[in-house]
Structures are given as C-alpha cells and as structure tokens.
Amino acid sequence: METTGNCRCNAVTVRVSADIQTGELQPRRCDCDYCRSKPSGLISHPSMQVSVGVPLSALKAEKNGDRLATFFRCKTCDDLIAVGGEIDGEWRGAVNADLLACRAEFGDDVAISPKTLSPSEKQARWKMLWGRITDLSDALTLQLVNQVLPYFGRQPALDITRYGIARPDNVVA
C-alpha cells in the first residue's frame, strides 16, 4: 500500500506505505474518553512507514488519559494526524485513516477498548501493531547526511527513498 493524505486545511501532509493491501486494514475507533471527544479511525501495521510533512514539533501534541501515547494534531484545523510513542528508541504509531486519499478502500471500522488494558499491556500491543513515524526533520537530516557522505568516500548511511525523497544523482545506493 502507498498513499498520501492531508488535514482539512492542507497544512499537514502524510505519506504512508506498508507491506499490506489497503482493504486488509480496518480503521480502529477507540472508546476512551479522549478519543470519543475527538473521534478518528486509526490504521497501523508493523511494516507501515508514516512520513509527516512537517516536523512533529510543529504539531499540537496532546497526551491521553494515562499519558502513555502522544496525539499529534494540526495546530490550524485540529485534525488528528497520528498517535504514537517512543518504542525501542524510535517513534512508532498509527495514522488517522480519515485523512488518507484511499479512505474508502479500507475495511469496516472496528471498535477497540484499550482502557480495559493495563499500561504494560497497551505498550506490548502497540509494539506489535504500530508502524514507524518519521517527520520532515528526520527526512531532511537523512537527505543531508546522505548527500555529504560521498564527499568523504563513504556510502549513504540510510535509505532515504523510503521517506519519499529522491536519491541525488551523485549518490550510489
């Protein structure tokens, strides 16, 4: 699956890719107090790569009731972009399916109730379900590093194409 999307005001874009067919994903609708007050259908898959078109620090960050997850919202229109947290040293999470161009292709929404899980059970579940979240600052840093390394006789450190950035012509993969 490869798709893009944006919030209502177009201030924030997302690019999403995963090793799964769109129709196999079912947006999850959480029944916690926070999510019921600001409903969204979230999708994730362990292979999912979510690239947010602005630095996460430019978004409004809110914590849910147990303060385990961070909800990233557009500062202008207040749309939920993604929810996530740091797992094993990297940002992992789920993206708001309602923002995506392929929204109609997803399976039926599923109600979930994580409030019935302990904090450790939630984190274990997220580790199994959530994909990787990166932002513009991550992608630009990788692009800069990969452009500079060849001048020092080194190969690019990381594959920047997974962030939707074209590899410069002078860099060999």
What is the distance between the alpha carbons of residues 142 and 120, in angstroms, rounded to a whole number? 32
Q: How confident is the model at residue 169 (pLDDT cuts 50, 70, 90)?
A: very low
Q: What is the pLDDT of residue 34?
A: 82
Half-sphere exposure of 10 (CA within 13 A, CB side): 0
Q: 């990788």: which residue's tokens?
A: 142
Half-sphere exposure of 17 (CA within 13 A, CB side): 7
Tell me the average pLDDT across 106-115: 91
Residue 146 DSSP symbol: H
Tokens describing residue 52: 């947010």
Q: What is the pLDDT of residue 67?
A: 86
Half-sphere exposure of 28 (CA within 13 A, CB side): 18
Q: What is the pLDDT of residue 167?
A: 40
Fold that domain 2-135 belongs to in CATH: 2.170.150
% of residues, the chain, pLDDT over 70: 78
Q: How confident is the model at residue 103 (pLDDT cuts 50, 70, 90)?
A: very high
Q: What is the pLDDT of residue 127?
A: 94
Q: Report the 10 Å Cβ neighbour count for 156.
A: 19
Tell me the average pLDDT across 136-155: 57
Q: How many residues does the chain have?
A: 173
Q: Which helix (H) or strand (E) holds 85?
A: strand 80-87
Tell me the average pLDDT across 82-89: 90
Taking only the tens place, the pLDDT of each residue in 16-66 is 999 999 999 999 998 888 888 888 999 999 999 999 988 888 899 998 778
Q: pLDDT averaged over the chain?
A: 83
% of residues, the chain, pLDDT over 90: 56
Tell me the average pLDDT across 112-136: 91
**Parallel, antiparallel, or unpaired for β 2-6 and 13-17?**
antiparallel
pLDDT of residue 146 exceeding 70, the answer is no
* Angle subtended at Cα 18 by Cα 162 and Cα 28, rounded to the nearest 5 degrees: 135
What is the distance between the alpha carbons of residues 41 and 68, in angstroms, rounded to a whole number? 19
